């Protein structure tokens, strides 16, 4: 593994510990699909268990840092400049329906900047991570955005419906964090979506920047209703013109 900071190491360990619960629970989802009770409450409980594990691990290592989680909300601590941003299950509907495409996302915000980010797909055992000025990585290999420069040759991710005619080839996979990780590794050439929570995209922000990508400016003091457009530098203006 390339050299990583103590904070990123904490994030990796927390995600790996929480993933054991998620993987175990995912194995039960198929059985619950045909039950009268259904998997909704089971999924909620799984998310809460994973969230608690992550928060407990992060707090044990950095007891003064603040924490923002999509489920628990913001919990300010003595250190308000450093905030862990957590999405314990990014792609809830996929998990709920037994679709193996979701992720754990953890980021560290310092002042008004995301300085570390981790996105872990526990089912595929794929880990994406990045730190400010240290590059972006996928399973210990350097990650870089696509070099394609024509929209017609590209594959774009989005959680939104495309309106009207468009030459965009796109996919809707249901995990914003993984969509951003896939842009950072060149699997997708761009991504756009509206009305996102900061925990959906925080880890992806530093990943995209460190992989050489471009994205719109965001106010990171806002936690909800965030809109993003990301791509390689070659596609930046072209993708914006399509939205």
Are residues 158 and 128 part of one domain?
Answer: no
Helices first, then strands: H and E counts in the chain: 6, 13
The answer to whether residue 132 is domain-embedded is yes
Are residues 133 and 20 part of one domain?
Answer: yes
The pLDDT value given to residue 35 = 57
The pLDDT value given to residue 107 = 98
Work out how many domains the chain is built from and give that number. Answer: 2
The pLDDT value given to residue 237 = 56
Last residue of a domain, one of 84, 113, 142: 142
Are residues 128 and 201 part of one domain?
Answer: no
Report the percent of the chain where pLDDT is more than 90.
69
The answer to whether residue 95 is domain-embedded is yes
Domain range for 45 is 6-142
The pLDDT value given to residue 195 = 92
Residue pointed to by tokens 């596609």: 235
The pLDDT value given to residue 203 = 98
Distance CA 49, CA 132 (A): 30
**How far is the CA of 40 from the CAs of 36, 53, 98, 208, in angstroms?**
11, 20, 12, 33
Are residues 221 and 170 part of one domain?
Answer: yes
The pLDDT value given to residue 50 = 96
Residue pointed to by tokens 């699909």: 33
The pLDDT value given to residue 160 = 78
The answer to whether residue 1 is domain-embedded is no
Q: For the chain, what is the radius of gyration of the CA atoms?
A: 17
Are residues 203 and 171 part of one domain?
Answer: yes
Last residue of a domain, one of 83, 109, 142: 142
**Over the stretch 1-48, which tens digit does the pLDDT of each residue have?**
567 899 999 999 999 999 999 999 998 887 776 555 667 888 989 999
Are residues 196 and 122 part of one domain?
Answer: no
The pLDDT value given to residue 153 = 84
Q: Are 205 and 114 in contact (CB under 8 A)?
A: yes
Q: Is the pLDDT of residue 134 over 90?
A: yes
Are residues 155 and 133 part of one domain?
Answer: no
CATH number (domain holding residue 175): 3.40.190.80
Are residues 124 and 26 part of one domain?
Answer: yes
Residues in the chain: 243
Distance CA 243, CA 64 (A): 41
Are residues 109 and 160 part of one domain?
Answer: no
Quote helix, strand, coil % in the chain, to nearest 5. Answer: 35, 30, 35
* Distance from the Cα of residue 218 to its chain's centroid: 16
Q: Is the pLDDT of residue 164 over 70?
A: no
The answer to whether residue 192 is domain-embedded is yes
Are residues 100 and 67 part of one domain?
Answer: yes
- Tokens representing residue 162 in the block: 């495309």
Least confident of 60-69, 154-163, 196-205, 212-221: 154-163
Q: Collapsing DSSP states into helix, strand and coil, what is residue 224? A: coil
pTM given for the model: 0.91
Are residues 109 and 19 part of one domain?
Answer: yes
Distance CA 88, CA 106 (A): 8
pLDDT band at residue 148 using 50, 70 and 90 as cut-offs: confident
Residue pointed to by tokens 């399509």: 242
Q: Is the pLDDT of residue 162 over 70?
A: no
**Over the stretch 71-126, which tens digit does the pLDDT of each residue have?**
788 999 999 999 999 999 999 999 999 999 999 999 999 999 999 999 999 999 99
Last residue of a domain, one of 116, 142, 168: 142
Number of Cβ within 10 Å of residue 223's Cβ equals 15
CATH number (domain holding residue 100): 3.30.540.10
The answer to whether residue 75 is domain-embedded is yes
The answer to whether residue 183 is domain-embedded is yes
**Over the stretch 185-235, which tens digit does the pLDDT of each residue have?**
999 999 999 999 999 999 999 999 999 999 988 988 888 899 999 988 877
The answer to whether residue 124 is domain-embedded is yes
Are residues 215 and 131 part of one domain?
Answer: no
- Of 161, 174, 168, 166, the C-alpha closest to 231 is 168
């Amino acid at each position: 593994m390339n050299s990583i900071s103590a904070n990123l190491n904490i994030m990796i360990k927390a995600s790996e510990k929480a993933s054991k619960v998620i993987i175990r629970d995912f194995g039960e989802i198929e059985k619950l699909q045909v039950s009268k009770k259904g998997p909704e409450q089971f999924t909620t409980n799984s998310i809460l268990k994973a969230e608690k594990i992550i928060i407990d691990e992060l707090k044990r290592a950095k007891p003064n840092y603040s924490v923002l989680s999509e489920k628990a909300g913001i919990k300010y601590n003595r250190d308000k400049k450093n905030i862990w941003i957590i999405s314990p299950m990014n792609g809830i509907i996929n998990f709920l329906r037994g679709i193996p495409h979701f992720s754990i996302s953890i980021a560290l915000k310092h002042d008004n900047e995301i300085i570390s980010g981790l996105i872990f797909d526990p089912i595929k055992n794929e880990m994406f991570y990045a730190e400010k000025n240290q590059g972006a990585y996928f399973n210990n290999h350097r990650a870089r955005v696509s070099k394609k420069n024509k929209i017609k040759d590209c594959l774009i991710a989005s959680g939104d419906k495309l309106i009207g005619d468009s030459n965009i080839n796109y996919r809707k996979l249901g995990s914003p964090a993984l969509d951003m990780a896939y842009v950072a590794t060149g699997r997708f050439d761009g991504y756009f979506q509206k009305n996102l929570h900061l925990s959906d995209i925080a880890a992806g922000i530093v990943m995209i920047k460190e992989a050489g990508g471009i994205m719109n400016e965001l106010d990171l003091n806002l936690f909800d209703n965030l809109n993003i457009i990301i791509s390689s530098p070659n596609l930046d203006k072209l993708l914006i013109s399509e939205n």
